[in-house]
C-alpha cells in the first residue's frame, strides 16, 4: 500500500504521521511518502503514481491544476473545482475531494448546529467549506479581505457577501483565512463581533489554540480546532484507498503527537 502526498512544498505535512499510523493500526504494510512536486513536474509525477501508488493526496498549489490531468473526477470534486485525494483504480487515476465532507464530519463530531454560517476567507479552504455548508442546508455568508474574491465565491455557490459585522448574527463563524497561522497574536475577527451564542471553527491548526478560538471560547461559543478537518479529510481518503474503516483514534493521536499537543 504505497501512498503519498503531492504538493510544493510538502516537507511540513502532517499526513505521513497520520496515514502511517492508520496503516499500522489496520495491520497494512505500506508507506506514505512526501512527493515534493513543483507545478511543472505534476504530469510526470502522476505517471509515477499511476505505476507505483495506490493513491495520493494533493495539496497546495496543485489541487486545481490536477483536475484536467486525471482519468476521472468525482462530481463533488468537480463542483468544488479542487481535488485533494487521488485513487489509482487499476491504472486509472480518479480524483476526489475529502476536504468538504471531512469538514462536515468535524462539525458533526462536535455537535455543531444552527442555520446561518459566516465563512471568513475566499481561498481554497473557504471554497470547500462554503460548498459543504451550503450542501448541508446552511445559509452561507462570506467575508474576505479582497471583496472581489468573496464575490466570485458567492457567485459560484449562491452565497451572500456580508460585512464583518454580520458575524454578530451568525450561528457559526468559520476562520478559513490563513490569519493566525504561526502567529498567536493575529485574528481575523475582533472579539466584540462574536455572536452571543453558537460556534466558532478555526481551520488553522498551527497553533491548535488560536487567538480566534480563545476569544470565541471566552465569548461563550463552542469551538472546533483545525485538527478536526485535517483528521476527517485524511480518514475519508484512507477509506477510499484501502476500502477499510479508518482507525480514527490512532490517526487523531498521531496528529496530536506531531503537533506537540500530546495524545
Residues acting as catalytic residues? 63
Nearer to ligand NAP, 22 or 179 (CB): 179
Backbone angles phi, psi at 54, to 5 degrees: -75, -30
Residues 6+ apart with CB under 8 A from 238: 19, 22, 244, 246, 251
- The residue from 205, 212, 238, 241 that contacts ligand NAP (CB under 6 A) is 205
Q: Using the rule CB under 6 A, is 209 a contact of ligand NAP?
A: no
* Interior angle at CA 129, CA 134 and CA 73, nearest 5: 90
Q: Using the rule CB under 6 A, is 178 a contact of ligand NAP?
A: yes
Interface with ligand NAP: number of residues (CB under 6 A): 24
Q: Using the rule CB under 6 A, is 138 a contact of ligand NAP?
A: no
CA 261 centroid distance within chain? 19
- The residue from 58, 119, 204, 246 that contacts ligand NAP (CB under 6 A) is 204
Q: Which one of the spans 45-53, 156-164, 229-237, 252-260 is the region binding ligand NAP (CB under 6 A)?
A: 229-237
Contact 142, 151 (CB under 8 A): no
173: DSSP letter:
E
Q: Using the rule CB under 6 A, is 179 a contact of ligand NAP?
A: yes
* Interior angle at CA 245, CA 241 and CA 247, nearest 5: 105
Nearer to ligand NAP, 44 or 185 (CB): 185
Contact 133, 119 (CB under 8 A): yes
CA 169 centroid distance within chain? 25
Q: Using the rule CB under 6 A, is 58 a contact of ligand NAP?
A: no
Contact 192, 219 (CB under 8 A): no
Q: Which long-range contacts (CB under 8 A, 24 or more apart) does 155-159 make?
A: 156/81, 156/127, 157/130, 157/131, 158/134, 159/119, 159/130, 159/134
Query: Within positions 115 to 134, which residues make up the interface with ligand NAP, using CB under 6 A?
Result: 121-126
Nearer to ligand NAP, 55 or 197 (CB): 55
Please, what is the minimum distance in Å from the beta carbon of residue 164 to ligand NAP? 10
- The residue from 22, 117, 230, 251 that contacts ligand NAP (CB under 6 A) is 230
Q: Which of 91, 87, 56, 59 is nearest to 74 (CA)?
A: 87
Please, what is the minimum distance in Å from the beta carbon of residue 115 to ligand NAP? 24
Binding pattern for the stretch 61-100 against ligand NAP, x by CB under 6 A and - elsewhere:
----------------------------------------
Q: Using the rule CB under 6 A, is 141 a contact of ligand NAP?
A: no
Residues that bind ligand NAP (CB under 6 A): 60, 121-126, 144-146, 149, 176-179, 181, 188, 203-205, 226, 229-230, 233
Amino acid at each position: 500500500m504505497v501512498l503519498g502526498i503531492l504538493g510544493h512544498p510538502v516537507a511540513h505535512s502532517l499526513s505521513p504521521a497520520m496515514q502511517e499510523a492508520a496503516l499500522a493500526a489496520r495491520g497494512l504494510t505500506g508507506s506514505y511518502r512526501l512527493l515534493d512536486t513543483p507545478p511543472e513536474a505534476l504530469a510526470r509525477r502522476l505517471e509515477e503514481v499511476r505505476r507505483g501508488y495506490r493513491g495520493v493526496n494533493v495539496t497546495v498549489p496543485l489541487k486545481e491544476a490536477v483536475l484536467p490531468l486525471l482519468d476521472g473526477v468525482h462530481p463533488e470534486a468537480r463542483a468544488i473545482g479542487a481535488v485533494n485525494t487521488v485513487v489509482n483504480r487499476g491504472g486509472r487515476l480518479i480524483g476526489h475531494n475529502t476536504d468538504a465532507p471531512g469538514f462536515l464530519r468535524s462539525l458533526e463530531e462536535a455537535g455543531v448546529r444552527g442555520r446561518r454560517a459566516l465563512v471568513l476567507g475566499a481561498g481554497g479552504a473557504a471554497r470547500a467549506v462554503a460548498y459543504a455548508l451550503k450542501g448541508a442546508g446552511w445559509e452561507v455568508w462570506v467575508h474576505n479581505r479582497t471583496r472581489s474574491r468573496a464575490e466570485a465565491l458567492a457567485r459560484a455557490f449562491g452565497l451572500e457577501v456580508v460585512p464583518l459585522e454580520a458575524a454578530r448574527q451568525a450561528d457559526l463563524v468559520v476562520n478559513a483565512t490563513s490569519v493566525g497561522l504561526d502567529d498567536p497574536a493575529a485574528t481575523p475577527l475582533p472579539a466584540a463581533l462574536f455572536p452571543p451564542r453558537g460556534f466558532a471553527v478555526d481551520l488553522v491548526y498551527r497553533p491548535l489554540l488560536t487567538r480566534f478560538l480563545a476569544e470565541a471560547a471566552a465569548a461563550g461559543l463552542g469551538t472546533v480546532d483545525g485538527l478536526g478537518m485535517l483528521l476527517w479529510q485524511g480518514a475519508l481518503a484512507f477509506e477510499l484507498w484501502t476500502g477499510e474503516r479508518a482507525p480514527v483514534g490512532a490517526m487523531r493521536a498521531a496528529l496530536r503527537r506531531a503537533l506537540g499537543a500530546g495524545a
